[in-house]
Amino acid sequence: GQVGTWAWGNQFLWGYSPQKSDAALQETFDHVLNAGINWFDSADSYGTGRLEGRSEVLLGQFLKEHDYKRGGGKVRSSDDVYVATKIAPYPFRLGKESIKKALKESSRRLDRGRAGVDIGQLHWAPPLGWQEKAYWTGLAEMQHEGNIKAIGLSNYGPQKLRQAAETFRKEHGVSLASNQVQFSLVSTLPVRSGLVEIAASEGVRLIAYSPLGLGILTGRYSMEKQRLPEGPRRILFKELLPALAPVLA
């Protein structure tokens, strides 16, 4: 199983604060690791401004502080943990070196030593293709140089995914390993768009994010009982919960 860390630093959507959140996140990390879940996904944009890279920093810290010997869990060593991260294609990132530099900064924040980053991903397709092929080149060079073990994308649709997979294969001699997309009972676009079939034909593994629909599918929230999250999700859930009653039931 995989654990996403979007909430580990995001104030706007998830209401993160170091004082209120870090202890609970540490407890959550220890719990899932002891349960045998050993794959964590992060991003350099999970935490901005003064909290830049906060998710990666916390993940690296938790990996070091977890007591693998006394935890009594199924994951016995930090070497058995897999970490993926995503690099945002911000407009100020120019050329292949910008992506390589950003990935190296992520690796430094994760502080995993030789373990490094298992999957280095581009967080989304840059609008109008801005710098996209340069970013792909940077990812390919990072894999060739041994700085990442595999290349992934995120939020790519079917046609762009096919183009990317062919470019990595033909121009760089590497395989595109994965594409991370929103996929749940309330977000079925990967099935409806043909992405599932195209990814399979290209040998690209799809990774689902928000499989519980930002929490709306957990059964934790209810209009009748006035149990709603704070922040922007509150507005969204007020609109969606009534229509989702049969699914939640």
Return the active site residues: 46
Q: State the Cα–Cα distance between residues 123 and 150, nearest whole angstrom.
A: 14
Q: How many helices (H) and strands (E) does the chain have?
A: 9, 7
Instruction: Output the six-digit token pair for 54.
Output: 């906060």
Phi/psi of residue 215, nearest 5 degrees: 105, -10
